[in-house]
Structure 1
Amino acid sequence: MDNFWFNQSDYEYEVVEPCTYQNNHSVELLVGQYVHSIICILGFVGNSLVIVTYAFYKRTKSMTDVYLLNVAIADLLFVVSLPIIVYNKLSSWSMGPVACKLLHGSYSVNLYSGMLLLACISTDRYIAIVQARRSFRLRSLPRSRLICAIVWTFAFLLSVPTFYFYNWYEPLHTQDVYMYDGHEKNLTTPQFVCEFRFTNNSTAWTTKVAVPSTQLAVGFFLPLLIMTVCYTAIIVKLLSVRNFQRHKAVRVVMAVVVVFVACHLPYNIVLFYDTVIMFQHQMCEASDALQVAKTVTQTIAYLHCCLNPVLYAFVGVKFRNHFRSIIQDLWCLGKRYIAPRRFSRVASEVFVSTRRSVDGSSDNGSSLTM
């Protein structure tokens, strides 16, 4: 047997394993299975009721109605895509590259459109209350539909990097290979992920800073600034009027702003900190703690899609009446299905009378859904 030797200094290298993020994975598993499920169910029910109400019971008669309908559509699309993203995030991504791009891209579009539409609602309420003399000229349905189209287009353009750079691939650190007859053989089942992937470092640096920075600026601080300015002026205007309903409206306005800040501010603070230290060296424990903070605060931000129907729609008396009509009609249809011969005429009469009472109610298209 021939003797052989090698110089160890020629092969010195340091193997650094990626962080396991065990704490974050445990939190994601708990949140993904339970909290996200509750958010998806409540968000789906609430936003579906808003869409059904506008489709069958309440026509869109004002700019606020158009904005509320579009917010409900954005939130509904968000809660529909969320469980699929969470499931594939907790396990290997099994839906292929097309679904990877579409789901994460639509998530980004719905995020931007929903936040910008909330800013549009605050602007519309400002015009209706503070600039009441100009409201009839500025608040028209064609203009509101045009603004919504611009918002959705702008949200899509902001989401182009997400559509482009999100890819379906197998990370190198998950591959366990060996050489056999000069060919590589994989020892493990491929574990695919759906994440950002770049061809060079400069693109990675630019995109990884630009995407969260844009989300912070356009997806949070801009709507927050518009809402703060508009609702502050609205509160000042309402407090100058001695009326019980106006003071009730002030409380509703305050609730809208407080809930918006409470839901989104923690996540955006963590996102800002993560963006600042993104390319700095961190210990695995500190990086794991940061990921846990992002997971928890992001879940709190998701709660806003469940609260939007309550804050913007069901707070209003008229909307609650429409909601009751939906429940009554569903109850009557259920009785008709169970005992059609006995209840068919009664159900029809109740259904028609309910629809008449709802459609005949006065609706002046007020911007305050109180």
Structure 2
Amino acid sequence: MEELNSSMVTFNSSAQPGDPSPASWVSIKLVSVVVVSFCFLLGVPGNIAVIILKPNWQHLSNLSQSLMLNLAISDLICLLPLPLWIYTFLKGWTLGLVACKLLTYIMYCSLYSSLLTVTLLSVQRYLQVVHLQKIFDRAGRRRLLVLLWLVTMILSIPALVVRQVIEHQHGTDCHFKYSSQSQQVAVMLTETLTGLFAISVVAFSYIGLHRKVNQAAFFNNPQMTWLVTSITVTFFVLWIPYHITNVLSVAAILLKNETFLKFCMDSWYTVSAMVFLISCLNPILYAFASRKMCTVC
């Protein structure tokens, strides 16, 4: 989620031993800007189209419709500020501390909301197909969405607290500044454990769904297999590198290994930018492909 800031921040404004060289910094910027720009150009129209057109939703359950609408809104909120992030990433942060904290908090809320919504979608589909259970009436759906956003707001508080405007050897950025190593490790581990828990739930749900679908002749078709597999693989491929980098960063801090720390830093921008690919692929995987799931949702 730290897509537009240096990954390992010292506890003062001096240059870090692990800062990337000017040449590698340019390469890191180029890769990140290309990936994030692609996400914006593809994801914003896609999510707007999902919100307006609601493709193939007439056959979905009310809960599925609510969750997919929430997913599209969350992804759109995440993607819309990307041009501003790209500009300040290239030119330096000039918008002040309040804007830095507020935009970061909104970004984290939207990413957590997207993550938790995908998790709930996977659980709901698993329960309906495998256990033939329909869950939540209209009031229950509203309470579920309120609870989802309440959890995302709570999970995003650490980013609001530790985000600062920092000057470093490459310019001025809006990124994290921790008061201690303990605070940094705690924030990163909390974020990683939350993400890994969500990924595990998604994997369990779709693996169980895949097995159930394959047992029924009516559902045993290549399109269904492709969709379930693509959802699971995409979720893993785009989230796992980020959390692995988080774990490696924590290890580098605890071991005080500067070489390892530099490797994590050089990898951070790319794996963080990859997270935004989820927000532009979600409309394709969950909305426009929902016609393949309509009979089971």
Q: Which amino acid aligns with 2:225?
A: V
The alignment partner of 1:277 has SS state of helix
Report if the CA contact (8 A) 2:223-2:292 is conserved: no
- 1:302 and 1:268 map into 2 onto residues whose CA distance is 14
Give the residue type in structure 2 aligned to 1:195: H
The one of 280, 284, 287 equivalent to 1:313 is 287
Render the CA deviation track for 1:210-240: whole Å, top value 9, x for unaligned: 221121111x211111112211221221111
User: Match of 1:315, as an amino acid?
Assistant: A
Select between 233-242 and 93-102 the one with higher mean Cα deviation: 233-242
Amino acid aligned to 1:278: I
Taking the TM superposition and a 5 Å limit, the aligned residue runs for 1:109-124 are 109-124=109-124
Residue 141 of structure 1 aligns with which residue?
Answer: 138
1:7-57, CA deviations, whole angstroms, 9 ceiling, x for partnerless residues?
xxxxxxxxx9644412441123212442221111101111111111249x9
Matching residue of 1:30: 30
| Residue 81 (str. 1) matches residue 64 (str. 2) | no
**Mapped contact 1:238–1:247 kept (Cα < 8 A):** no
Alpha carbons of 1:244 and 1:318: their partners in 2 closer, same or farther (altered >3 Å)? closer
Name the residue aligned to 1:215: 191
Greater shift in the superposed pair: 60-69 or 104-113: 60-69
Distance apart, 1:195 and its partner CA: 2.5
Name which structure has the greater RCO, CA cutoff 8 Å, separation 6+. Answer: 2
How much does 1:150 deviate?
Answer: 0.7
Secondary structure at the aligned position of 1:31 is classed as helix
Q: Please, which runs of 5 or more residues in structure 2 have no aligned partner? A: 1-13
Which deviations, in whole Å up to 9, do the C-alpha atoms of 1:102-143 show, x marking residues without a partner?
A: 1111111112111111010001101211121x32xx243332
> CA–CA distance in 1 between the matches of 2:211 and 2:165?
52
- Counterpart CA distance in 2 for 1:249 and 1:60 is 15
> 1:318: Cα distance to partner?
8.7
Q: Does residue 197 in structure 1 map to residue 190 in structure 2?
A: no
The whole-number CA distance in structure 2 between the counterparts of 1:72 and 1:367 is 21
Task: Could you tell me which runs of 5 or more consecutive residues in structure 1 were left unpaired when the two chains were aligned.
Answer: 1-15, 175-190, 320-364
How many aligned residue pairs are there?
A: 281
Query: Structure 1 residue 93: deviation in Å?
Result: 0.8
**Structure 2 CA distance for partners of 1:26 and 1:65, relative to 1, 3 Å:** same
Query: For each residue in 1:283-333, what CA deviation from the matched residue of structure 2 results, as whole angstroms up to 9, or x when unmatched?
Result: 4x65443222222222222211111111101113399xxxxxxxxxxxxxx
The percent identity for this pair of structures is: 24
The 8 Å contact of residues 263 and 304 in structure 1, kept in 2 or not, is answered as yes
Backbone CA RMSD of aligned residues: 2.7
Partner amino acid, structure 1, of 2:151: F
Aligned residue for 2:275? Answer: 301
Partner of 1:153: 150
TM-score, structure 1 as length reference? 0.68
| 1:234 pairs with 2:214 | no
Shift of 1:83: 2.9
The alignment's TM-score, normalised by the length of structure 2, stands at 0.84
Shift of residue 91 of structure 1?
2.9
Within the candidate set 263, 274, 294, 2:238 is matched to 263
Letter aligned with residue 235 of structure 2: F
* CA apart distance, 1:59: 10
| Structure with max Cα Rg | 1
The equivalent residue for 1:356 is: none
Distance change in 2, residues 1:193/1:30 (3 Å): closer
Match of 1:254 among 214, 225, 229: 229
| Matched position secondary structure for 1:307 | helix
Which consecutive aligned stretches of 4+ in structure 1 deviate over 4 angstroms post-superposition? 57-61, 244-247
Q: 1:246 to 1:140 in 2, by over 3 A?
A: farther
Q: Residues 167 and 126 of structure 1: is their aligned pair in 2 closer, same or farther, counting only changes over 3 Å?
A: same
SS in 1 for 2:81: helix
C-alpha spacing 1:58/1:75, structure 2 compared with 1 (3 Å): same
